[in-house]
Amino acid sequence: DTDKLKRLKTSKSSTLDGTPIELMANIELLGDVDAVKAAGAHGVGLFRSEFLFLNRSDLPSEDEQYESYKAVAEALDGKPVTIRTLDLGADKQAPWGHNVADNPALGLRAIRLCLAEPGLFQTQLRAILRASIHGQVRILIPMLVSFMELRQTLQRIDEAKDSLRRDGLKFDEGIPLGGMIEVPAAALSAGFFAEQLDFLSIGTNDLIQYTLAIDRADDSVSHLYDPLHPAVLNLIQYTLRAGAKAGKPVSVCGEMAGDPLLTRLLLGLGLRTFSMQPASLLQVKQQILKSHLEALTPMAQRLLKNTDPDKTALLLNRLNS
């Protein structure tokens, strides 16, 4: 019941064998920070900054963005906030945006759009960097696929830092930079991305869409949108292992992280940092508190190798009981 759940807010987040698990929250606007605190989250693992750009006809200026990011950083009282750079396009079209292509999910979206619009990207990067002295700010890049994109992104960030130095404006010189793993090509290249970046975050909403070729917004194929498809689980595990090998933290910030029925499976695949909508956090924590990691690992492997659709529910049940 809800009272029992609420009491979990302040309890330590770790498995029965004492492994600490980090529980972060996803937010879209400053107003969501209250819910983050109410859930006792360790910080914000995904701030979807594009919501500042939606439902308006003009672009937010650098100062307006700076004020918004600063307000979130300050409201979190020193807890980390991971600001994702603009993820516009596809399912999040801005009214002033580009012509919608026939295949928007495969088109100019997220980091592709930002690299094609240097002014737009510089404005946001400067705003995030300026806000970084007001809290523990991290930058997260959506939809990375190619190595050239990563190189260009790093260059743009260096340029933004240089321009701030020239203007005599302060920022956190050591601001951590992470990349989202949302496309199979990125997951299979996770070792490279992990070496180049400070952290990774798996966006399972898009990773499922691109792995299974299922439009995440198309109801006619929603029955095929399957987080338990072994190909999806393999890509998640592969990414987690690549991060561990490079010594870089990897989180999951897609909807899978907030589904308490999948908590144990993700723990078994090696996940130690979850980021989800604040409303799911205590339920996920409840699962973690009664989980034995050692038992979960072999059971997760069984699900990952399962090709019998009749057995999936049974294997998941066993994992959760």
Feature table: binding site: 48, 84, 182, 205-206, 216
Q: In this structure, are residues 292 and 15 in contact, taking their beta carbons and an 8 Å threshold?
A: yes
Feature table: binding site for Mg(2+): 182, 206
What totals of helices (H) and strands (E) does the chain contain, helices first?
A: 14, 8
Q: Which does 254 bind (CB under 5 to 8 A by kind): ligand PEP, Mg ion, none?
A: ligand PEP
Quote the distance between the C-alpha of residue 6 and its chain's center: 25
Instruction: Single out the segment in contact with ligand PEP by CB under 6 A; choices: 32-40, 125-133, 186-194, 198-206.
Output: 198-206
Q: In this structure, are residues 87 and 142 in contact, taking their beta carbons and an 8 Å threshold?
A: yes
Tokens of 230: 């072994």
- Which residues are marked as active site? 253
Q: Which does 204 bind (CB under 5 to 8 A by kind): Mg ion, ligand PEP, none?
A: ligand PEP
User: What span, in angstroms and rounded, lies between the C-alpha atoms of 250 and 216?
Assistant: 23
CA atoms within 13 Å, Cβ hemisphere of 250: 30
Task: Give the contact letters, 86-125, x = binds to ligand PEP (CB under 6 A), - = no.
Answer: -x--------------------------------------
Nearer to ligand PEP, 205 or 286 (CB): 205
Quote the distance between the C-alpha of residue 261 and its chain's center: 19
Q: Could you say which of 93, 196, 205, 301 contacts ligand PEP (CB under 6 A)?
A: 205
Q: Is 136 in the site for ligand PEP (CB under 6 A)?
A: no
- Phi first, then psi: give them for residue 151, nearest 5 degrees: -60, -45
Q: Is 48 in the site for ligand PEP (CB under 6 A)?
A: yes
Q: Could you say which of 40, 43, 178, 203 contacts ligand PEP (CB under 6 A)?
A: 203
Provide the binding-site residues for ligand PEP, judged by CB under 6 A.
46, 48, 87, 182, 203-206, 253-254
